Amino acid sequence: MSLNAAFIFLADGANSDTDRQRVSTPTVNLTVIGAADYDDAETVARQLVADGIDAIELCGGFGFAGTERIAAAVDGRAAVGAVRFDGHPGLNGKSGDTVFGKPRRDTSQQMRG
């Protein structure tokens, strides 16, 4: 049985309908999708889960709040993980949390442990 996984990256001007690619190996089927912002990524994540994706990995541009938003969007129906950068080179050294806005709910205390 193969793992059905996805990687979502953030890119200004990305079109999640067309900026996507699929790579299949004997053990992993990976769908890679570019999203324009957190709102777009939430929509993509829900669509991926509906299509049978088991795990979603997020690029380093997703901050803690962005990762929480995607986890909330899939509501436990897929594992969600993230590559982590303190400041993402593709976002001018900033976190996606700074670029794309605040979390939908306050997760600051949760993330600090």
Q: What is each CA distance from 92 to 19, 86, 96, 100, in whole angstroms?
A: 21, 11, 10, 13
User: What's the pLDDT score for residue 81?
Assistant: 95
Residue 111 scores a pLDDT above 60: no
- Does residue 14 have a pLDDT over 80? yes
Name the architecture of domain 3-112.
Answer: 3-Layer(aba) Sandwich (3.40)
Q: Tokens standing for 5?
A: 């996984």
Per residue in 75-92, pLDDT tens? Answer: 999 999 998 776 777 778
CA pair distance 60, 33, nearest whole angstrom: 14
The pTM assigned to this predicted structure is 0.79
d(CA 24, CA 14): 23
Residue boundaries of the structural domains of the chain = 3-112
